[in-house]
Amino acid sequence: MQISAGRVGLALGAMAAAAGIAWFLLPKPVPVETASVVKGRFVASVDEDGKTRIRQRYVVAAPLAGRLTRVRLKAGDPVTADEVVAAILPPPAPLLDPRSRREAEERLGTAEAAVERSKATVERAQAQTAQAKTDLDRTRTLATTGASTVQALERAELAQRIADRDLRAAEFLNHAAEHEVAQAKALLGRYKEGADAPAELWSVTAPVSGVVLKVAQESETVVQSGMPLLEIGDPRDLEIVTDVLSTDAVEIRPGADVTIEHWGGPGTLSGRVRRIEPAAFTKVSTLGVEEQRVNVLIDVLSPPQQWAGLGDGYQVYTRITVFTQPDIEIIPAGALFRRSDGWSVYLVENGRAEFRAVDVIRRSGGFAAIGKGLQQGERVIVYPGDQVGAGVRVSAKP
C-alpha cells in the first residue's frame, strides 16, 4: 500500500491537534511562593512594646498646709540639691463677721483690764515682800541681843518665804494676762491699720540634683500637707519597662540580652533584663480580651551619647532573647502546617510539590528552627494553599 504525502500530513496534523488538546486539558502548575532552607544561628525572642522611665523619681510635696506661691520652674529646668524650688506662706486667718469682731474687741478690753489688775497685784506683793524682809531683819537683830524669841524669828522667816512666793505668783499672773492681750490683738490685727506684718516664707528645697520632670501645681493656690508640687529626676538614668504575657515571662531570665528597636534614632540599642516583677496584673488588650501581664525591667547598655534623645515615657520596641541555637536549619514559619500530630512542609522537587515531615524545635519572629527533615539549600513552599499537594506541579512566583 502506498502512503501519500497528503496522508502523512493529515496524520501529523491530527497528532499535533491531539497533543494540543491534551496539553490544554492538563492541570496548569500552581503558582507558589518559595524560600530556601538556610543554616545559621536561630534566636527566639519575646517581642513587645515598652516605655522608658527614669529609674529614680522624686516627688516634691508640700511639707505643711499653707498658700503656695507661684512656681517659676518649668519641665526641663535643671535644679541642684537643696535649691529652693517653691515657697509656702502661712494660711490666712479666717474672716470675722461683725458680731465675732465685736466679741473679739470686748475680749481685748477684758484682757487689758486683767493686765491692770495683775499689775496692782504685783505691786501689792512687792510691798508685802519688802515689809516681810524688814520684819525679818528686825527680828534677827532682836534675837541676837536676846530681846526676841526663836519662835518669833522662825515666824518672820516663814512670812518672808510666803511673801516671795506670792510675788512670783503675781508676776506669773501678770505675764499670762499680757499674753492674753497679745493674743486678742493678734486676732484683731488684720483689721487694724498698719498692723499687718510681712508673712514668713517656708522654703521647699530639691532633695537631689536633676531635671524637673513635671510641675504638678504651677499657679498660686492653697495646698494641704503632702500635696505633690513637682517631680525631679535624672534623665540620663533611664530604664525600660516592657509588659509581656505571663506565659512568656516564665521563659525570661535576669541577664537576658535585649535588642531595642524603633526608638526614634538610627540603628538599634542593646539592653539587658534586670528584673522580672513577681506579680502579674490584668490588662485589657486592643481586642477587648483580658490578659495577665508582667512587667520586665530592662537596663540600656548602649553608650548614653547614642540615645541622648530618649526621655521619660518614650515608646520603644524590645526583643528579649529567650532561646538561641547555633548551626541549625531555619525556614519561614509560614511554610509549616499541621499533619496528624506533627509539623510538615512541602518542598519543590523537579517542579512538583513533595511532602516532608519535619521536627520543629522552636518558632519565633516569623521563623522556625528545624531539627530533622530538611537540608540546607532545599526550597520550601511558603503558605501552601488548598491546591498544593504531594505530586502537584508548582511554579515559583517571580
DSSP character at residue 62: -
Residue 44 has pLDDT above 80, yes or no: yes
Give me the CATH code for the 30-41+326-396 domain, please: 2.40.420.20
Q: What is the pLDDT of residue 193?
A: 47
Residue type, position 290, single letter = E
Q: What is residue 78's predicted lDDT score, i.e. its pLDDT?
A: 92
47-53+235-325: which CATH number, 1.10.730.10, 2.40.30.170, 1.10.760.10, 3.30.70.580? Answer: 2.40.30.170
Phi, psi (rounded to 5 degrees) for 78 = -80, 145
Average pLDDT over residues 356-380: 90
H-type helices in the chain, by residue range? 5-25, 98-145, 150-188, 246-249
Residue type, 181: V
Question: How confident is the model over 102-148, as pLDDT tens digits?
Answer: 777 777 788 888 888 888 888 888 888 888 888 878 888 877 877 77
pLDDT score for 195: 46
Q: Which of 18-32, 142-156, 217-231 has the lowest mean pLDDT?
A: 18-32
pLDDT of residue 385: 84
Q: Which of 216, 199, 221 is nearest to 61 (CA)?
A: 216
Residues of the chain with pLDDT > 70: what percent? 88
Instruction: Report yes or no: 348 and 83 within 8 Å, Cβ to Cβ.
Output: no
**How is residue 206 annotated by DSSP?**
-
Residue 3 has pLDDT above 60, yes or no: no
Choose between 46 and 11: higher pLDDT. 46
User: Which is more confidently placed, 191 or 320?
Assistant: 320
Residue 161: per-residue pLDDT:
86
The yes-or-no verdict on residue 390 having pLDDT over 80 is: yes
Residue 310 near residue 345, CB atoms below 8 Å: no
Cα-based distances in Å from 89 to 203, 218, 258, 285: 9, 15, 50, 47
Q: Is the pLDDT of residue 164 over 80?
A: yes
Packing angle between helix 150-188 and helix 98-145, nearest 10 degrees?
160
Q: Does the predicted TM-score (pTM) go above 0.85?
A: no
- What pLDDT score does 148 carry? 74
pLDDT of residue 26: 55
Residue 184 has pLDDT above 90, yes or no: no
CATH number of 59-89+203-233: 2.40.50.100
Tell me how many degrees the CA angle 81-84-90 measures, rounded to the nearest 5: 140
User: How many other C-beta atoms can be found within 10 angstroms of the C-beta atom of residue 135?
Assistant: 17
Q: How far apart are the C-alpha atoms of 144 and 47, rounded to whole Å?
A: 109
The confidence band for 194, taking pLDDT boundaries of 50, 70 and 90, is: very low
Q: Percentage of the chain with pLDDT > 90?
A: 40
Check if the beta carbon of residue 390 is closer than 8 Å to that of residue 355.
yes
Q: Looking at residue 242, what is its pLDDT?
A: 95
More confident residue, 211 or 151: 211
Residue of 274 and 10 predicted with greater confidence: 274
- Please report which confidence band the pLDDT of residue 323 belongs to, taking 50, 70 and 90 as the band edges: very high
Work out the average pLDDT over 375-387: 89
Least confident of 99-103, 280-284, 319-323: 99-103
Report the C-alpha gap between 258 and 17 in whole angstroms: 66
What are 49-101's pLDDT values in tens digits? 999 999 889 999 999 888 898 999 999 899 999 999 999 988 766 666 677 77
pLDDT single digits (tens) 300-318: 999 988 998 888 899 999 9
Closest CA to 247 of 270, 226, 276, 220: 276
Helix, coil or strand: residue 276: strand
Q: How far is CA 182 from CA 87, 112, 115, in A?
A: 28, 9, 11
Compute CA distances 179 → 111, 186, 351, whole Å: 9, 10, 110
Looking at every residue in the chain, the average pLDDT score rounds to: 85
Q: Which residue has the higher pLDDT, 18 or 187?
A: 187
Cβ atoms of 66 and 89 within 8 Å: the answer is yes
Beta sheet of 221-223, edge-to-edge order: 202-205, 84-89, 66-68, 221-223
Give yes or no for residue 1 having a pLDDT over 50. Answer: no
User: pLDDT at position 96, please?
Assistant: 65
- Predicted pLDDT at 189: 67
Q: Which three cell numbers stand for residue 150?
A: 526663836
Residue type, 65: A
**For position 25, what pLDDT does the model report?**
52
